Amino acid sequence: MPRPRRDPPMLPLRPGTTPPRDGTPGPRTADVVADAVRRGILSGELAPGAPLREEELSATYGVSRHTARTALATLTAERLVTAEPYRGVR
């Protein structure tokens, strides 16, 4: 049974890239959100120690909180952010 096609991500892809046209799936929406936050961190737009809230990310990027949580988990695994129990992600 073929996999259902995904809707295109709500966020733009990296500059200079185009979505695939051959039926292969594009980037996951959580990866697109993680890329956007990563660019903000590395460019200095997000200050060190600034809190990253799921609610704010989901509202800013138009995604669910689960998708925002997955993006933050990706950035935590890359050690760009730290997650502390009862304190959130920074």
66 pLDDT higher than 80: yes
Range of the domain at 45: 29-83
Reported as a pLDDT band with limits 50, 70 and 90, residue 15 is low
- Mean pLDDT over 17-23 rounds to 64
DSSP 8-state class, residue 77: H
Phi, psi dihedral angles at 54 (to 5 degrees): -55, -40
DSSP 8-state class, residue 47: P
Residue 38 belongs to domain with CATH number: 1.10.10
Contacts within 8 Å (CB) and 24+ apart, 41-47: 41/75, 41/80, 41/81, 42/80
2 pLDDT higher than 90: no
d(CA 63, CA 83): 20
In a domain, 44, yes or no: yes
Domain total of the chain: 1
pLDDT > 70: what percent of the chain? 77
d(CA 54, CA 69): 6
Q: What is the mean pLDDT of the chain?
A: 84
In a domain, 50, yes or no: yes
